[in-house]
């Protein structure tokens, strides 16, 4: 903005004052004049422009104080700097003017250099304030845009996670005689257990809403390592030999390695979700007393995610029919889980299976493998 684009409204009932101020400021700025506050307000309300207002205080009709009150009460004019120019001498007059919102108080008689300097300073201050305000608006817009972009990216990551699970699961199901329903059931058992245990002080911090969602997403990958097990062992219609068990047990390691590789590809964005998936795949055959595999670790050294999956996986294996064993009833399965409390399973998790028994049964029915199995559950529950 050039100086000539800046308009100063001078409000004074004395023609000599107006003349001096026009002479002082007229070369640099456009000057508009009014003889009292009401005329000044009329000028502004009819669309007149003012980048700064110089106003006398003692004037007929509307004095400078009342004029200032009107200006500062109106959102359209409250940001215009108001400088009182008065021969009122007392400190109270000056204090009152500043309290009403005026930016400055200049004492008469008019000193042209002082008026010029004060006007210039307040115009610069006002322009800086305007620029700052505009910059703030720009920054707020920028933050909004970035936030939107982040949300979209987050949504893409979530979609990618879903696609990863779908692809992995499709692969696992294609290789294994166990149906996709085992995957669904164990996924829901894990969530049921996690939600139940999140009420206990011991698990509250670890099992927050986000963790439970990630566990639910990760659970289907618990046996992904089985894709690396030869068909002859994986689909053997009978019990495995000790040698075959050695190979079979390696599915935990294979699963861990595959997920770790995917984790590297995802970088930071996939860490939460694949971290749980990797834990579950590798540790879900560990036992509370250290007699499990692949590492034989015990107690809380086994990640919580894997301890949850261990209980869910065993419960589901028990109620499922296999070529080498009949399906257990729900009650038998619960009894077996409780028998393993403190040896196979984390004691609190075994208790949770028992406490969530009805929910487990509902899940088992909802994702039942076959009608016959459903009847077994119903008849013997």
Binding residues vs another protein (CB under 8 A): 13-17, 19-20, 23, 58, 87-89, 108-112
Cβ proximity to another protein, 85 vs 364, nearer residue: 85
Q: Residue 130 in contact with residue 51, Cβ under 8 Å?
A: no
Q: With respect to another protein, which residue has the nearer C-beta, 19 or 177?
A: 19
d(CA 56, CA 17): 9
Environment class of residue 67 by beta-carbon count within 10 Å: exposed (0-12), middle (13-18) or buried (19+)?
A: buried
Euclidean distance between CA atoms 375 and 365, whole angstroms: 9
Cα within 13 Å of Cα(108), Cβ side: 17
The answer to whether residues 58 and 10 touch, using CB atoms and an 8 Å cutoff, is no
Which of 40, 220 has the CB closer to another protein? 40
Closer residue to another protein in complex, CB, 112/162: 112
- The residue (of 29 and 254) whose beta carbon lies closer to another protein is 29
Q: Least CB distance from residue 20 to another protein, whole Å?
A: 6
Q: How far is the CB of 108 from another protein (least distance, A)?
A: 5
The nearest distance, CB 62 to another protein, in angstroms, is 14
| Shortest reach from residue 29's CB to another protein, in Å | 18
Q: Tell me, what DSSP letter sits at residue 326?
A: P
Q: Which is nearer to another protein, 13 or 173 (CB)?
A: 13
Please report, for residues 201, 333, 339, the alpha-carbon distance to residue 328 in angstroms, rounded to integers and kept in the order given.
33, 6, 14
Task: Select 88 or 297, whichever has its Cβ closest to another protein.
Answer: 88
Contacts (Cβ under 8 Å, ≥6 apart) of 362: none
- Minimum distance from residue 130 beta carbon to another protein (Å): 33
Question: Whose Cβ is closer to another protein: residue 14's or residue 173's?
Answer: 14
What minimum distance in Å lies between the beta carbon of 109 and another protein? 3
Closest listed residue to residue 251, CA positions, set 229, 276, 218? 229
Query: Of 85 and 211, which CB lies nearer to another protein in the complex structure?
Result: 85
Q: How many Å is the Cα radius of gyration of the chain?
A: 40
Kindly state the DSSP code that residue 322 receives in the 8-state scheme.
B
Query: Least separation, in Å, of the C-beta of 2 and another protein?
Result: 24
Closest distance to another protein from the beta carbon of 42 (Å): 22
The residues, ordered by sequence, that sit 6+ positions from 57 with a Cβ below 8 Å of its Cβ are 63, 64, 65, 84, 86, 88, 93, 97
Least distance in Å: CB of 36 to another protein?
A: 13
Do the beta carbons of residue 44 and residue 50 sit within 8 Å? yes
**3-class DSSP assignment, residue 9:** strand
Number of neighbouring beta carbons within 10 Å of residue 167: 11
- What's the rounded Cα separation, in Å, for the pair 222 and 309? 8
């Amino acid at each position: 903005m050039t100086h000539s684009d800046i308009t100063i409204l001078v409000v004074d009932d004395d023609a000599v004052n107006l003349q001096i101020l026009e002479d002082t400021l007229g070369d640099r700025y456009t000057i508009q004049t009014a003889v009292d506050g009401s005329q000044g307000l009329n000028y502004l309300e009819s669309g007149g422009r003012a980048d700064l207002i110089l106003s006398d205080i003692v004037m007929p009709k509307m004095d400078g104080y009342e004029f200032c009150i009107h200006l500062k009460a109106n959102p359209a004019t409250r940001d215009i700097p108001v400088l009182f120019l008065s021969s009122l001498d007392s400190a109270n007059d000056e204090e009152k003017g500043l309290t009403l919102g005026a930016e400055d108080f200049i004492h008469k008689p008019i000193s042209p250099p002082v008026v010029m300097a004060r006007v210039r300073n307040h115009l610069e201050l006002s322009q800086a304030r305007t620029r700052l305000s505009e910059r703030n608006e720009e920054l707020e817009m920028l933050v909004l845009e970035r936030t939107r972009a982040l949300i979209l990216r987050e949504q893409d990551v979530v979609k990618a996670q879903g696609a990863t699970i779908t692809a992995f699961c499709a692969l696992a199901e294609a290789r294994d005689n166990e149906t996709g329903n085992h995957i669904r059931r164990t996924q829901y058992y894990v969530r049921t257990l996690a939600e139940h245990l999140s009420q206990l002080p011991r698990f509250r911090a670890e099992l927050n809403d986000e963790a439970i969602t990630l566990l639910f997403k990760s659970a289907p990958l618990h046996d992904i390592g089985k894709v690396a097990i030869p068909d002859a062992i994986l689909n053997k219609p009978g019990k495995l030999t000790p040698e075959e068990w050695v190979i079979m047990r390696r599915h935990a390691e294979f699963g861990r390695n595959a997920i770790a590789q995917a984790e590297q590809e995802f970088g930071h964005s996939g860490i939460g979700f694949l971290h749980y998936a990797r834990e579950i795949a590798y540790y879900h055959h560990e036992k509370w007393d250290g007699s499990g595999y692949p590492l034989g670790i015990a107690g809380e050294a086994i990640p919580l995610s894997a301890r949850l999956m261990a209980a869910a996986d065993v419960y589901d294996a028990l109620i499922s029919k296999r070529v080498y064993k009949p399906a257990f009833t729900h009650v038998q399965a619960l009894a077996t889980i409780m028998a393993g409390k403190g040896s196979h399973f984390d004691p609190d998790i075994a208790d949770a299976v028992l406490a969530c028994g009805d929910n487990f049964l509902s899940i088992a029915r909802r994702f039942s493998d076959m009608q016959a199995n459903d009847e077994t559950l119903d008849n013997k529950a």
